[in-house]
């Protein structure tokens, strides 16, 4: 197991020093889903939610969250994001909406937190826009799907690894 590097010799929380690292191309993909009722699913698909285009607004919220991650997560470095996409897939058989966030940059630190933050904000936005219809929605399974770049190498999530 890797050692934590967000602490100094005295145990104080610190931002990791990346000044000596070389920039590399880095990507991260995260996903999560929100379980919704039939009524919400139909309202979203037919764009009949009173607050507006749910997936359109959630897409913007996710992208905005990616760009603001270092303002919310204390030890994250501010990054120059070079690409961000926020996509949705309606999973009718599961009564769910899957959110997938892809983030790319060239830098000295990865974009995993940005992708996870984007997914979380997008799902919370769906909840906010649909809560007047039904508050029993459930956010679920938010996780890193893959990452590339950096010294720790590439990562691809396997559902077989998910039990701790």
Residue 95, Cβ density class (10 Å: 0-12 exposed, 13-18 middle, ≥19 buried)? middle
Q: Tens place of pLDDT for every residue, the chain, 164 residues?
A: 456 677 778 888 888 888 888 899 999 999 999 999 999 999 999 999 999 999 999 999 999 999 999 999 999 999 999 999 999 999 999 999 999 999 999 999 999 999 999 999 999 999 999 999 999 999 999 999 999 998 777 889 876 655 55
Please confirm, yes or no, whether 87 is among the known catalytic residues. Answer: no
Cβ–Cβ under 8 Å, residues 76 and 70: yes
pLDDT of 149: 92
- Structural domains of the chain sorted by starting position, each given as residue range(s) with its CATH number in brackets: 24-151 (3.30.70.640)
Q: What's the whole-model pTM score?
A: 0.91
Q: Catalytic pick from 128, 134, 141, 154?
A: 128
């Amino acid at each position: 197991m890797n050692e934590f590097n967000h602490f100094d010799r005295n145990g104080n929380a610190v931002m990791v020093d990346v000044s000596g690292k070389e920039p590399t191309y880095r990507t991260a993909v995260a996903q999560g889903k929100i379980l919704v009722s039939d009524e919400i699913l139909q309202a979203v698909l037919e764009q009949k939610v009173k607050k507006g285009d749910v997936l359109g607004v959630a897409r913007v919220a996710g992208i905005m969250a990616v760009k603001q991650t270092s303002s919310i997560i204390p030890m994250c470095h501010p990054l120059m994001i070079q690409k961000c996409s926020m996509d949705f897939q309606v999973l009718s058989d599961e009564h769910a909406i899957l959110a997938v966030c892809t983030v790319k940059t060239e830098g000295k630190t990865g974009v995993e937190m940005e992708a996870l933050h984007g997914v979380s904000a997008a799902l919370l936005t769906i909840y906010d826009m649909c809560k007047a219809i039904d508050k029993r929605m459930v956010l679920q399974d938010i996780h890193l799907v893959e990452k590339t770049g950096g010294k720790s190498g590439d990562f691809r999530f396997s559902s077989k690894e998910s039990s701790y």
